[in-house]
C-alpha cells in the first residue's frame, strides 16, 4: 500500500503565503516521475509553522490533485493529542489513504504516554497510521516494545524510522514480523535498511530526484545479483545528494535545490532561514554530480 519511494513533500511559500500553484505543480511532478506515495504536511512540509487552515488545505490539495493515483499519507502529528486527533480525522474525512504521526515533541512523554497518545488517535479515527519515530528532533525514542503494543490496535500498520539505528530494523522484524511496515526516514541508509527487511523510504531527496529515488527503491527491495549491483550503483550516485540535503536544517537545503530545478521558491518560515552561500555551493555540486543540473 505504501512502499518504495514516498516523498516527504515540501510546502512552497511565496511572500510567506502558501504557494498553491507551485504546490500543485510539485504534486504532478511526482505523479509523472515515479514517486510511489505522497506525504503532505509532514515536518519536511514545515507543519510546525503552518496554520491549522493551511495544514488542512495542503492535505486537501494533495488528495484532490493526486486523484487516487498515488496513496497519500498525511502528516497529522502534533504534541497535542487532541490536535493530532482533529488533523487525522480531517485527513480521513477528505480521503487520505492514511496518516503519518510523529512522536510528540517537547512534552517528552514516557513510553506509556506514547502508547496512550497513539491509542487515543487510533480509537477516534479509521485510517491506517504510521508511527514517525525521530528522536533527534522530538527527543523521545519510541521503543520496539511500545510499537509492538500499538501494532495490536486496529489502525497502526508500521513505522517511519528516523533513528538511524539499523539494528532497529532487525529488532522490529523479529518482534512484529514482516507485515509491520518499516520505512526509513534516512535516505542515506536506505540500501541497508531495505536489505534488512525494510519496504522503502519516506524521502527528502525524492523531492528533487524522484526518478532516481524510485528506481533505486524498486531495485533495492529485489534480491537477485543484478538488482543488487544496480541498486548499489544508484546508491553511490545518490549519496552526495542525500548528504547535501542535511548540511543545514531540513527543509532549507531541499528547498534551495528545488529552486535550482525551477520547482518552487526557496522560502522557508522562521525560525528556519535560507541556506548560506557555502551550503548553496555544496548543494549545486551534488545536483551536478547527479546530473540534475549542468
Residues noted as catalytic? 132, 160
**β-bridge mates for residue 200, sequence order:** 4
Which cell numbers hold the place of 241? 545528494
Buried b (16+ CB within 10 A) or exposed e, 56-80: bbbbbbbbebbeeebbbbbbbbbbe
| Residue 88: its H or E element | helix 81-93
How far, in Å, CA of 82 to CA of 159, rounded?
21
Per-residue DSSP letter, 11: -
How far, in Å, CA of 105 to CA of 86, rounded?
17
Q: How does DSSP assign 143-161, residue by residue?
A: -HHHHHHHHTSSSEEEEEE
Place of cell 544496480: 230
Q: How does DSSP assign 33-54, residue by residue?
A: TT--EEETTSTTTTGGGS-HHH
End-to-end CA gap in the chain = 36
Place of cell 531495485: 219
Amino acid at each position: 500500500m505504501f512502499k518504495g519511494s514516498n516523498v516527504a513533500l515540501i510546502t512552497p511559500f511565496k511572500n510567506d503565503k502558501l504557494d498553491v500553484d507551485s504546490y500543485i505543480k510539485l504534486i504532478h511532478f511526482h505523479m509523472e516521475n515515479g514517486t510511489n506515495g505522497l506525504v503532505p504536511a509532514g515536518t519536511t512540509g514545515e507543519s510546525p509553522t503552518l496554520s491549522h487552515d493551511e495544514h488542512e488545505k495542503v492535505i486537501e490539495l494533495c488528495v484532490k490533485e493526486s486523484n487516487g493515483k498515488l496513496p497519500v499519507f498525511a502528516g497529522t502529528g502534533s504534541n497535542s493529542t487532541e490536535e493530532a486527533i482533529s488533523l487525522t480525522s480531517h485527513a480521513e474525512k477528505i480521503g487520505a489513504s492514511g496518516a503519518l504521526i510523529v512522536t510528540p515533541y517537547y512534552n517528552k512523554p514516557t513510553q506509556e504516554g506514547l502508547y496512550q497518545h497513539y491509542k487515543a488517535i487510533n480509537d477516534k479515527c479509521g485510517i491506517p497510521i504510521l508511527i514517525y519515530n525521530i528522536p533527534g528532533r522530538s527527543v523521545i525514542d519510541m521503543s520496539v516494545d511500545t510499537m509492538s503494543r500499538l501494532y495490536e490496535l486496529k489502525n497502526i500498520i508500521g513505522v517511519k524510522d528516523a533513528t538511524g539505528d539499523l539494528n532497529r530494523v532487525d529488532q522490529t522484524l523479529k518482534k512484529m514480523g514482516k507485515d509491520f511496515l518499516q520505512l526509513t526516514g534516512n535516505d542515506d541508509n536506505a540500501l541497508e535498511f531495505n536489505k534488512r527487511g525494510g519496504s522503502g523510504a519516506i524521502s527528502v531527496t525524492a523531492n528533487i530526484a524522484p526518478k532516481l529515488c524510485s528506481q533505486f527503491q524498486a531495485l533495492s527491495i529485489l534480491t537477485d545479483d543484478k538488482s543488487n549491483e544496480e541498486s548499489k550503483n544508484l546508491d553511490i550516485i545518490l549519496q552526495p545528494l542525500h548528504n547535501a540535503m542535511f548540511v543545514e536544517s531540513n527543509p532549507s537545503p531541499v528547498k534551495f535545490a528545488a529552486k535550482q530545478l525551477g520547482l518552487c521558491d526557496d522560502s522557508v518560515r522562521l525560525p528556519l532561514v535560507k541556506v548560506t552561500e557555502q551550503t548553496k555551493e555544496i548543494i549545486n555540486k551534488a545536483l551536478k554530480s547527479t546530473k540534475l543540473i549542468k
